[in-house]
């Protein structure tokens, strides 16, 4: 397997990976309380978010791509993107977000979002509050520049097999090259892995126990109760030290994979 920057026209596949990876994630229970009732809205919200990210200067999505010789689990493959879809220009690689084509993409996304009905699966209030708290955590430390590590999405059949190490390697190489820290957050399942590769907890995001209620026209949706969560805000420093830790982690992951 190898890593590369994802293209804009791969947003549907990446969003599908997100729906599989985050289906049972507790934080996504807050972000998308009705994702089980409206899975197509969950998918569309992720796809739109990833499209906008890839069309924004300075942002990218790194994909871990299987090679022909890699194990191919017999799992359900991504479905065709559901309607409505947005016909976007093809992304042409590194640097594309700064050109006129990507400015058109961002304008098209703005127009599409302005005319779309509210997403039935999402709680925009929960999403906004989460990122507001995350930025407060970042600003509690000193930095002149940084890399924001938004999330890591891995298909369930590839989790706990050391695959994430390839993505960490790309991330820390970029951090070392630019000599800047990396900021992010971690789920309860991911924090052990992140700390194993040098992450330091610098704060917490509090998501209170909440009962979500929603009415769509004459339809009253079932109330959704989600538990209180504390999500660590993390920071990686000293990329050269992290790279050494990553090498140890990758060796350990390969040993664990060999036992499966």
- The overall average pLDDT reported for the chain is 82
Number of domains present in the structure of the chain: 1
Which residues have C-beta within 8 Å of that of residue 95, sequence separation ≥ 6?
none
Please check the confidence at residue 99 and state whether its pLDDT lies above 90: no
Q: Please, what's the b/e burial string for 161-200 (b: 16 or more CB within 10 A of its CB; e: otherwise)?
A: ebbbbbbbbebbeebeeeebbbbbbbbeebbebbeebbbe
User: How far apart, in whole angstroms, are the C-alpha atoms of residue 110 and residue 117?
Assistant: 13
Residue 159 domain boundaries: 2-69+78-259
Give the model's pLDDT for residue 84: 38
Strand partners, 206: 230
Q: What is the 3-state secondary structure (H, E, C) of 11-61?
A: HHHHHHHHHHHCCCCHHHHHHCCCCCCCHHHHHHHHHHHHHHHHCCCCCCC
- pLDDT of residue 106 exceeding 60: yes
Quick one: pLDDT at residue 79?
A: 46
Per the model's pLDDT, the better-predicted residue between 27 and 166 turns out to be: 27
Q: What is the mean pLDDT of residues 75-81?
A: 49
89 band by pLDDT with thresholds 50, 70 and 90 = very low
**Residue 95, Ramachandran bin (φ over 0: left; ψ between -120 and 50: alpha; else beta):** left
The pLDDT score that the predictor gives to residue 248 is 60
* Residues in a beta bridge with 210: 226
Cβ–Cβ < 8 Å for 230, 30: no
Quote the pLDDT of residue 164: 83
CB 212 within 8 A of CB 224: yes
Q: How far apart are CA 104 and CA 100, in angstroms?
A: 6
CATH number of the domain that 135 lies in? 3.40.630.30
Cβ neighbour number for residue 24 with a 10 Å cutoff: 10
Q: Over 90: is that where the pLDDT of 46 sits?
A: yes
If one compares 191 and 114, the residue with the highest pLDDT of the two is 191
Predicted pLDDT of residue 81:
41
* pLDDT at residue 82, as a whole number: 40
- pTM for the predicted model, two decimal places: 0.81
- Of the listed ranges 45-49, 111-115, 155-159, 224-228, the one predicted with least confidence: 111-115
Q: Does position 25 have pLDDT exceeding 90, yes or no?
A: yes
Q: Rounded to whole angstroms, how far apart are CA atoms 191 and 182?
A: 15
Closest CA to 208 of 90, 152, 129: 129
């Amino acid at each position: 397997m190898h890593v590369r920057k994802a293209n804009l026209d791969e947003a549907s596949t990446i969003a599908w990976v997100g729906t599989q990876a985050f289906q049972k994630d507790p934080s996504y229970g807050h972000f998308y309380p009705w994702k089980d009732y409206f899975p197509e809205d969950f998918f569309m919200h992720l796809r739109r978010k990833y499209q906008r990210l890839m069309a924004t200067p300075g942002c990218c999505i790194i994909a871990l791509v299987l090679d022909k010789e890699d194990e191919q689990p017999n799992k359900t493959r991504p479905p065709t993107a559901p309607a409505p879809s947005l016909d976007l220009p093809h992304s042409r690689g590194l640097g594309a977000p700064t050109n006129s084509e990507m400015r058109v993409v961002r304008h098209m996304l703005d127009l599409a979002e302005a005319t779309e009905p509210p997403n039935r699966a999402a709680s925009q209030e929960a999403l906004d509050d989460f990122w507001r708290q995350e930025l407060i955590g970042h600003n509690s430390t000193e930095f002149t520049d940084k890399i924001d590590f938004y999330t890591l999405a891995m298909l369930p059949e590839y989790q706990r097999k050391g695959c994430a190490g390839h993505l960490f390697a790309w991330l820390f190489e970029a951090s070392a090259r630019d000599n800047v820290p990396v900021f992010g957050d971690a789920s309860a399942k991911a924090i052990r892995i992140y700390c194993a590769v040098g992450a330091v907890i610098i704060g917490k995001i509090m998501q209170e126990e909440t009962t979500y209620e929603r009415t769509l026209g004459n339809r009253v949706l079932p109330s959704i109760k989600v538990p209180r969560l504390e999500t660590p805000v993390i920071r990686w420093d000293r990329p050269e030290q992290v790279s050494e830790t990553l090498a140890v982690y990758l060796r350990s992951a390969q040993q664990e994979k060999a036992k499966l």
